[in-house]
Structure 1
């Protein structure tokens, strides 16, 4: 049976009616796909951006940590360099101190050797007087002391040097003139008995008598013994420094003496203090007086 043209057209029209819906559906699907892809792309972009931000933060943190580590290392290196410089300075100081100590030890050894040579020389030159007790020789702390009882050098109560005293002092001066690094202090001492009335016009007190004797010994050592005057010092102590009780004749005899003290020649800045210490106890009575005779 044949379709009429109207029916055929209606069928074609019915057949084409679903196309708009299909197009609409396709458009919706396509738009949805585009939106999905766009949304997915946005999420991926955000994820990538977040990853980039985190990576940047991590890189910045690592850079800060690296900078902090670098600064800490620089500080440690600077501290190590300062410590090295300090140790180097201390090493140099220790080396210098070691050299100075070694030099000091050598100087002390040389000083002790010279001191022993002088002491031995004095013992040899004065052995007769040492043997009979007229001279006592001692050494301590780099110093040599020669004690001469007054009767070896002076007649009783006299400040002038006797003939025997001149002979003794000549031998003593022969040793002292060779000593170049010592100050030589000559000090006079008496017992506690005041000068007799006969002598008081010349020696009012024992100060004057002790000083006169010391000065005469110094002058003799300089003029006859060849000892340089710059190394000589005269002092008088009177009865103020006894070495024995004055209660017995023997004790008083020991106290009447001349002491010759050889002291180290210290540097100029310390010399004045050393001399003041060595001369402690002496007074204005150290002034020189002219030799005179009397009876003590």
Structure 2
């Protein structure tokens, strides 16, 4: 009975070997597939990281664009505000121009009325070129000049002679010069209106200066001349007018010390009409 069982055992052994060989081959196949899956997973991870980097970059770009857009909007709003302010300034200037034209017309009307009144009263206008310049030889003084300005006569006195320290006080030389000029004015135009105009160069006031501004300084110098003329000459207070113009009306450029000195002056302006009679 036992010898008949040998063949089945052999067959079983062969089958077992075949099964084991198939398992080994399947394991190799599975291992290869696993490696491919791992490589694919790594590739997908790299793609995901790259996509994330791109997304982050796009997000930063969008943020920068938002900032630039906000800045552009702010600049646009500022520009609109400036345009509105300029329009308001233009409107204001237009109103001022219209008012100035009205004032000019009113002034011209007054001048015409005054001229007619003077003609009716027999007032004779002065002629600077034919009478004043010829009748005032004493005006040939150092630094003093006489010029015609329409119907006005302007006598220019150097501020450096009158007020070299710019402290509002006449120097002895300035007193003599002003007295000589006043003598000639009293001789030929004793009753005419006379303006005393103070002018200075465009300078910086020193620290501790008593003057609040260049207008204040020029007016103070003009007032000093006024006080001298009223106290020391026959000219009356009611025929004199005082004004200080600061550096508003330069004769030459203020860019140099010489120009600033030239612009520092007192101008005595003789008007064609006579002052109304008043108390001396």
TM-score when normalising by structure 2: 0.51
Distance 1:120 1:186 in 2: 22
Contact 2:192 2:275 in 1 (8 A): no
C-alpha distance after superposition, 1:52-111 (max 9, x if no partner): xxxxxxxxxxxxxxxxxxxxxxxxxxxxxxxxxxxxxxxxxxxxxxxxx9x96xx68x54
Distance 2:222 2:235 in 1: 15
- Number of residue pairs aligned between Structure 1 and Structure 2: 159
- Secondary structure of 1:168's partner? helix
How far 1:246 sits from its partner (Å)? 0.8
Distance 2:234 2:205 in 1: 32
Q: What residue number does 1:234 align with?
A: 242
**Which runs of 5 or more residues in structure 2 are unaligned?**
1-115
The 3 A distance-change label for structure 1 pair 250 and 174 is same
- Secondary structure of 1:144's partner? strand
Query: 5 Å matches for 1:1-296?
Result: 111-112=125-126, 116-122=130-136, 124-129=137-142, 134-178=143-187, 179-199=189-209, 202-265=210-273
- Secondary structure of 2:245's partner? strand
**Which runs of 5 or more residues in structure 1 are unaligned?**
1-100, 269-296
- Secondary structure of 2:258's partner? helix
Distance 1:143 1:258 in 2: 15
The 3 A distance-change label for structure 1 pair 121 and 223 is farther
Distance 2:224 2:254 in 1: 25
Contact 1:115 1:142 in 2 (8 A): no
- Secondary structure of 2:205's partner? coil
How far 1:168 sits from its partner (Å)? 0.7
- Secondary structure of 1:242's partner? coil
CA RMSD in angstroms comes to 2.8
TM-score when normalising by structure 1: 0.48
Once superposed, which parts of structure 1, at least 4 consecutive aligned residues long, lie more than 6 Å away? Answer: none
Task: Kindly name which structure, 1 or 2, has the bigger radius of gyration based on alpha carbons.
Answer: 1
C-alpha distance after superposition, 1:236-287 (max 9, x if no partner): 011111121111122111111111110122798xxxxxxxxxxxxxxxxxxx
- Secondary structure of 1:238's partner? coil
